Amino acid sequence: MFQGSSALSLDAKGRVTIPTRHRDALTAQCEGHLTLTRHPDGCLLVYPRPVWEIKREEIARLPAGARVLQRLMLGNAQDVDIDGAGRVLVAPELRSAAGLSKEVMLLGMGGHFELWDAATLQRREAEDLAKGMTDILDQFSF
């Protein structure tokens, strides 16, 4: 299970270094083979390849009414590998689609990660907190 957040930087070539604590687990789990794709919220999803393969099948089986989601997630999926320096290349199309600038945040979300532009995530979290979460909090105990 991946959890926690990491403030990272994209280098000039669009590569991001996976934090060591996650890199070791990803190497053991999937030999560093990952898949990146778009998320409807505006970030990128980072899946270990075996997890993505299951998710890909789920998305592909959705009814025709889910074409928008299928295009977004399947049509933008790109396989990447963690290189010897622990980095992954985020393709220009995906960087642009998610509005990624130099400063990014990698969030562990259990079986996968979200990769956000740092400023966008900060703004989004502030907006979400301002709206409140009463429906969600009614279903959760701290």
The arithmetic mean of pLDDT across residues 4-29, rounded, is: 97
Determine what percent of the chain is predicted with pLDDT higher than 90.
Answer: 89
Report whether 104 contacts 115 (CB < 8 A): yes
As a whole number, the mean pLDDT across the chain is 95
Give the pTM.
0.94
Report whether 87 contacts 18 (CB < 8 A): yes
Report whether 43 contacts 121 (CB < 8 A): yes
- Split at pLDDT 50, 70, 90, the class of 75 is very high
Report whether 72 contacts 38 (CB < 8 A): yes
Angle at alpha carbon of residue 30, lines to 38 and 53, rounded to 5°? 45
- Split at pLDDT 50, 70, 90, the class of 137 is confident
Determine what percent of the chain is predicted with pLDDT higher than 70.
Answer: 100
pLDDT at residue 29 greater than cutoff 80: yes
pLDDT at residue 122 greater than cutoff 90: yes
pLDDT at residue 140 greater than cutoff 90: no
| Range list of H helices, 20-117 | 20-30, 49-60, 67-73, 92-97
The arithmetic mean of pLDDT across residues 19-28, rounded, is: 96
pLDDT at residue 138 greater than cutoff 90: no
pLDDT at residue 133 greater than cutoff 90: no
